[in-house]
Amino acid sequence: MQLLAGSSRSAARRPSAVEAPAVSRISGRPACTAARRASHVQPARVAHASTPATERANGNGSSPTQGSPLGSIDGFVPQAGLTANLLLQCPDQKGVIAAVSQLLYGFGCNIVSSDQFTDSISNQFFQRITFDFSEIVIGPGNTAVLERAIGELASRFRMKWKLAYKNKIKRLAILVSKQDHCLYDLLIRHRSGELRCEIPFIISNHPDLKHIADTFGVPFHHMPIDKSSKDSQEKAIEDLLAKEQIDVLILARYMQIFTTGFCERHWEHTINIHHSFLPAFEGARPYHRAHERGVKIIGATAHFATAELDAGPIIDQAVSRITHRDSVDDMIRKGKDLERLVLARAVRWHLDDRVMVYNNKTVVFED
């Protein structure tokens, strides 16, 4: 289920002096209204203890850090295009938007765009902020101080958060089997500049699509699999992911089921395209089963690949009308068009930090 997001825009100017950021105690939405109404502020304390490093090192040799628990990138020194995406999730309460806006303002950051959504059923608040930190008062090379301040603010509001610098290009790996349509589409979109990422390699359990990888100049790794080699094949995949410092794993019609352990380690950054409108017709041969059932709509679903087959949080879906005249081959042809579009959108949104997961559902701040 995809939740709809509202949108607002606000801006922060650089303060005249270097000082600890002020955080509002009074709330309201939108942020600009809260800032005007806030009459009592308390300074945010800046922590001096470093945050534990997790996950892989960034390109400059520093390590990303874990905010509670979505994480942030600590120690990374941006050099160009000084903008970042900040994702927030916390119980809905007064003061959140005002506090975050004033914190960024206090550091001299400029909010370029802001989108937020409140789920009234779960009482959860979600926000995505894009901000420019080219004039940050502590200097663009000292973003760790900003991250610690965000961490302290997060503890006040019981907030999960993630900070991603936009000039840190994500590295994406593609897994395929024998179907080529999604692979072609992703590689063409990447070559045209539509997908902002690096693609260091392609993995397949069959050799059939190596010529496509060769055409686009992407290294191709053939890793055959059977029941006796499943564990060793997954180990080889994970070793390659770690070696190449992969951020996102795309299953572009990869027709193998990962073990529970692999899914638990990687589901948050693994996107699968399933050729049906889930939760209908999960598993194998969905077009054939849809034809037997006589459906009037078929679809495609991009979702995170959790241990439960085709049941992970859904990122995007699309459908197409079917009539009694459509054969299975007709449905497959129409379905492939949907698969290309849905997977490309999901990948683009994920690369741009627009997807947030909660309770096996997603909030997607669409572009």
Structure tokens at 73: 């990138």
Among 224-233, 299-308, 322-331, the range scoring the smallest mean pLDDT is 224-233
Per-residue model confidence (pLDDT) at position 226? 85
Per-residue model confidence (pLDDT) at position 141? 85
Structure tokens at 283: 């598993």
Report yes or no: 268 and 313 within 8 Å, Cβ to Cβ: no
Residue ranges per structural domain of the chain = 2-165, 172-364
Distance between CA 82 and CA 145 in Å, rounded?
16
User: 51 pLDDT exceeds 60?
Assistant: no
Three-state SS for 302? strand
Three-state SS for 166? coil
User: 346 pLDDT exceeds 70?
Assistant: yes
Element (H, E) at 118: strand 110-119
User: 4 pLDDT exceeds 60?
Assistant: no
Report yes or no: 105 and 32 within 8 Å, Cβ to Cβ: no
Query: Could you name the CATH architecture of 172-364?
Result: 3-Layer(aba) Sandwich (3.40)
Q: Omega before 52 cis (within 30°)?
A: no
Residue range 49-58: mean pLDDT, rounded: 36
Among 16-20, 84-88, 136-140, 327-331, the range scoring the smallest mean pLDDT is 16-20
Residue with the larger pLDDT of the pair 207 and 28: 207
Per-residue model confidence (pLDDT) at position 43? 37
Active-site annotation holds for 326 = no
Phi, psi of 27 (to 5 degrees): -105, 175
pLDDT tens digits for range 218-257: 999 999 988 888 899 999 999 999 999 999 999 999 999 9
DSSP symbol at 200: -
Residue range 14-19: mean pLDDT, rounded: 38
Three-state SS for 41? strand
Q: How confident is the model at residue 7 (pLDDT cuts 50, 70, 90)?
A: very low
Q: Which of 288, 332, 365, 292 is closest to 128 using CA atoms?
A: 365
Q: Which CATH class is domain 2-165?
A: alpha beta
Per-residue model confidence (pLDDT) at position 211? 97
Cβ neighbors of 344 (< 8 A, separation 6 or more) are 185, 186, 189, 194, 195
User: 12 pLDDT exceeds 80?
Assistant: no
Q: Which residue shows structure tokens 């701040």?
A: 365
Residue range 274-297: mean pLDDT, rounded: 94
Name the pTM for this structure. Answer: 0.78
Q: How confident is the model at residue 23 (pLDDT cuts 50, 70, 90)?
A: very low
Query: Measuring CA to CA, how many Å separate 230 from each of 31, 34, 191, 262, 268?
Result: 51, 55, 33, 11, 21
Among 24-33, 94-103, 274-283, 330-339, the range scoring the smallest mean pLDDT is 24-33
Report yes or no: 336 and 243 within 8 Å, Cβ to Cβ: no
User: 99 pLDDT exceeds 50?
Assistant: yes
Average pLDDT, the chain: 83
User: 304 pLDDT exceeds 80?
Assistant: yes
Catalytic residue among 310, 316, 352, 353: 310
Distance between CA 147 and CA 197 in Å, rounded?
24
| Residue 303 C-alpha from the chain's centroid | 11
